[in-house]
Amino acid sequence: MDLVKKILDASSCFEEEYSKRLFENRISTKACYTDAYFYGVVEASDSFLFDNYEKSTIPALQKKIEVHSPLAIAGAGEKGIHTLNSLVHAGYKVVAFLDNDKRKQGHSLQGIPILSFEDFSKNQDGIIAVIANGYYGNAFYESLKKNNYPDEHIFLNKGDLLVNIFGEEYFDIPLHKAGKKEVFIDAGGYDGRDSLKFLDWCKSEYKEIYVFEPDQDNCKMIADRMQGYKNVNVLDFALGKEDGDGYFDINMNNKEGSKLGKYPWMQPVHIRSIDSVLQGNEATFIKMDIEGAEMDALIGAKETIKKHRPILAISVYHRAFDLLNIPIYIKSIVPEYKMYLRHYSNTVYDLVLYCIPFHRSVCL
């Protein structure tokens, strides 16, 4: 299929302007994994996420800095403005910018004074200095240490920019409501967190839960966390087009982001299709975040989707063309699906496609 036609076909799948705008920005910046996408979507002049959600959280700060604590931002440039937007949206109070550029010192940026590191260190003891700048971060840190600012009042972000989390990923579903006999498929169970969120979403009124997680250690963790809940099936399979065997590449750092691989030194894994596991039985809600295997798993769920028309919440950011191929494929199976796009962080990750069947749609 011609690429332009495919883009137009995928865009036509979406139900609302907000989803279309997210789609267009993603495509116009060549889909994924560049700073251009971040700046295109989240900058203050066109802040889809900041405008759409009243509040966000910043996980990197949550356990270290109390909300409403006064903060100073190192760097009064473009990244400093992004840091300001991130902090303010999450409820933090910014009282100063810090910069070594003497031309900026004594002025203000968005109504916030710009101070030298020396003046700040002398007069602002106790205020936490936030450094979120991959290029100048170490230089900013050294400027604070040179002026004897204490380490306990410095937050040096590990990444380039602060990451805000918006809404409830996979359960912030447009125009729908939970049923009382939900059958939930958690494809990519990791540590069970999404299955627990599902229980909260449906107020524990469900029929059955299937959690697919190929990592054995993660399976044990899920089983422990779900102990006490009835009809929970924790399955140590990977998902694909059809039943078979393969290899699983485990992320040994934190067990998150593990995925199907192709090399014999990886962990052997059984691959199942959703159709094969369910054998025609019902699914009412399929959540899928399986590190790039989503398209194959959806092909392997084709009969389940056609027959039962479950709500779908599918990650569409792992592969560059998933945002085109997955909506088009699902529409080809069930044309009646209403499709929405939501983005849950100011990064290239956490982009979710929702597909709501007609019988589950509600009017606001």
Q: Are residues 264 and 332 in the same domain?
A: yes
Task: With cut-offs at 50, 70 and 90, classify the pLDDT of residue 227.
Answer: very high
Element (H, E) at 187: strand 182-187
Range of the domain at 93: 56-165
Higher per-residue pLDDT: 29 or 31: 29
Q: Which residue has the higher pLDDT, 25 or 265?
A: 25
CB 234 within 8 A of CB 226: yes
In a domain, 25, yes or no: no
C-alpha torsion sign, points 309, 315, 321, 323: positive
Question: Residue 46 pLDDT > 60, yes or no?
Answer: no
pLDDT at 8 over 50: yes
150: CATH: 3.40.50.720
Q: How confident is the model at residue 346 (pLDDT cuts 50, 70, 90)?
A: confident
Q: What is the predicted pLDDT for the residue at 2? A: 85
113 and 238 share one domain = no
Q: Are residues 347 and 198 in the same domain?
A: yes
In a domain, 21, yes or no: no
Question: In the chain, how many domains are there?
Answer: 2
Q: Which pTM was predicted?
A: 0.87
The confidence score (pLDDT) of residue 53 equals 87
- Determine the Cα–Cα distance for residues 316 and 259; give it in Å rounded to an integer: 15
More confident residue, 178 or 136: 136
Is residue 63 domain-resident?
Answer: yes
Count other C-beta atoms under 10 Å from residue 71's C-beta. 21
In a domain, 13, yes or no: no
2 domain residue, yes or no? no
What are the phi and psi torsion angles at 247 (to 5°)? Answer: -125, 150
Burial of 114 (0-12, 13-18, 19+ CB in 10 A): buried
Question: pLDDT by residue (tens digit) across 118-148?
Answer: 999 988 767 999 999 989 999 999 999 999 9
With beta carbons less than 8 A apart as the criterion, state whether 122 and 148 touch. Answer: no
CATH number at residue 259: 3.40.50.150
Assess whether 137 and 281 both reside in one domain. no
pLDDT tens-digit profile of 55-111? 899 999 988 898 878 999 999 999 999 999 999 999 999 999 999 999 999 999 999
Domain boundary among 145, 165, 185: 165
247 and 272 Cβ atoms separated by less than 8 Å: no
The token duo for 75 is 């760097």
Is residue 334 pLDDT above 50, yes or no? yes
Do 156 and 291 lie in one domain? The reply is no
**In Å, what is the CA distance from 188 to each residue of 193, 236, 295, 332?**
10, 10, 14, 24
Residue where a domain stops, chosen among 142, 165, 188: 165
**Residue 42: pLDDT band with limits 50, 70, 90:** very low
User: What percentage of the chain has pLDDT greater than the value 70?
Assistant: 89
308 and 197 within one domain: yes
Query: Within this chain, do residues 182 and 140 fall inside the same structural domain, yes or no?
Result: no
Q: What is the pLDDT of residue 159?
A: 80
Residues 89 and 194 both lie in one domain: no
- Asked if residue 221 and residue 118 are part of one domain, the reply reads no
Is residue 30 assigned to a domain? Answer: no
161 and 261 share a domain? Answer: no
- Residue 242, domain member (yes or no): yes
Final residue in a domain of this structure, among 165, 196, 221: 165
- Kindly give the pairing relationship between strand 108-109 and strand 112-115: antiparallel
**pLDDT for residue 361 is more than 80:** no
Percent pLDDT > 90 in the chain is 64
